[in-house]
Amino acid sequence: MASPNGNGQGLPVNGEYDRVLGFTIPGRHARGRLVRLGPVLDAILSNHGYPPAIERVLAEALTLTALLGSTLKGAEGQLTLQAQTQGGVIDLLVCDYRGGEMRGYLRHDPDRLAEAPVDPSLFALFGKGYLAITFDQAVTGERYQGIVPLEGGSLAEAVEKYFAQSEQIPSLVRLSLRAEGRGHVAGGILLQHLPEGEDGRDRIHTRLDHPEWEHVSTLAATLTLGELTDAALPLDRVVWRLFNEEPEVRVLPILPLSRGCRCNPQHIRDVIGRFPAEEQASMADAEGLIHVDCEFCARRFPIAAETLPR
Ligand SMILES: [Zn+2]
């Protein structure tokens, strides 16, 4: 199915964009996700107008968000990535995923970016910090948070290391971004070894050198960054290319991705309307307007205090 390409920014039409493909390899106790982002990524980036080095970080974080978010059970769960850092160019990054809807923003210091190297390392961008990954499973009510130290060369490397060391889930993560005309294509793969199944949290026998894992991760590692972002290459073809010699590979239905935010003028009015009148008055400016910002959309919603319900 072709993805609509309404942004007119030079991405090839009929490309395989804005979707996630899940797959499992039962004989190897492995599960995977492949994601490719196009117009959805551009819609999010174009809200902000960040410089290219900063756009790259947000694009990689959004790709990771789609990979991890699509492992949630059911459509109502939410996955949130939030980086809080000190001493780097970027001091805050937030991305989330709910039912295929994605959004994200970050905060950076343009003066510090100007002093950074041309191709800055993860450390130069984030300084010292952590990435909190929060899984909210709406189906089961389960909520847990993983804390990933932002170390190493890339976001993918930091997350791989976190899963292997803290969660005892051997994982492979690759993220890729390509500029295409004035648009972008991002791609990613997540492959994980779950020898005790999807639900068991105690994986006593997990070993990084498990032969099952060595086999599938070696195959997955042959995937090139170019293949990840090749919009002409359908995601199921990628799975086939990597694992066609496995006796059984199950492919899940394609999950479409969209750009979505929960901010809307009526919701904001309702929230502000619940504040006491004195507080509303103290929030209003000289013209009687209360300004509410949505950082995800880089939008400001002015609300006339006198029109709020009393
Ligand atoms: Zn918004």
The residues placing their C-beta within 5 Å of ligand 1, an ion, are: 261, 263, 294, 296-297
Find residue 31's DSSP bridge partners.
24, 192
Rounded to the nearest angstrom, the distance between the alpha carbon of 296 and the centre of ligand 1 is 5
* Residue 24 neighbours by CB distance under 10 Å: 17
pLDDT at 2: 37
E strands, the chain, are 19-25, 30-37, 78-86, 90-98, 101-108, 128-136, 143-149, 171-180, 183-193, 250-251, 255-256, 258-259, 289-294, 299-304
Rounded to the nearest angstrom, the distance between the alpha carbon of 260 and the centre of ligand 1 is 8
Provide the angle, in degrees to the nearest 10, between the axes of the packed helices 211-220 and 235-243: 130
290 or 1, higher pLDDT: 290
Confidence check: pLDDT of 297 > 50: yes
Report the percentage of the chain scoring pLDDT > 90. Answer: 70
Yes or no: say if 127 and 85 are a contact pair by the CB < 8 Å rule: yes
109: confidence class by pLDDT, cuts 50, 70, 90? very high
pLDDT at 29: 94
Rounded to the nearest angstrom, the distance between the alpha carbon of 9 and the centre of ligand 1 is 22
Give pLDDT tens digits for 56-89.
999 999 999 999 999 998 788 999 999 999 999 9
In angstroms, rounded to a whole number, what is the distance separating the alpha carbons of residues 53 and 289?
36
pLDDT at 4: 42
Rounded to the nearest angstrom, the distance between the alpha carbon of 46 and the centre of ligand 1 is 13
Confidence check: pLDDT of 110 > 50: yes
> In this structure, what token pair is assigned to residue 48?
């902000």
pLDDT at 11: 64
Query: Average pLDDT, whole number, for the chain?
Result: 89
Rounded to the nearest angstrom, the distance between the alpha carbon of 13 and the centre of ligand 1 is 27
The torsion angles phi and psi of 217, rounded to 5 degrees, stand at -70, -30
202 or 93, higher pLDDT: 93
Single-letter residue type at 252: L
Any idea how long the chain is? 310
93 or 210, higher pLDDT: 93
Rounded to the nearest angstrom, the distance between the alpha carbon of 259 and the centre of ligand 1 is 10
In angstroms, rounded to a whole number, what is the distance separating the alpha carbons of residues 6 and 115?
37
Contacts by 110-114, CB closer than 8 A, 24 or more apart = 110/51, 112/88, 113/51, 113/53, 113/54, 113/89
Give pLDDT tens digits for 195-247.
776 654 444 455 667 899 999 999 999 999 999 999 899 999 999 999 999 99
DSSP character for 207? -
The torsion angles phi and psi of 12, rounded to 5 degrees, stand at -60, 140
Rounded to the nearest angstrom, the distance between the alpha carbon of 123 and the centre of ligand 1 is 29
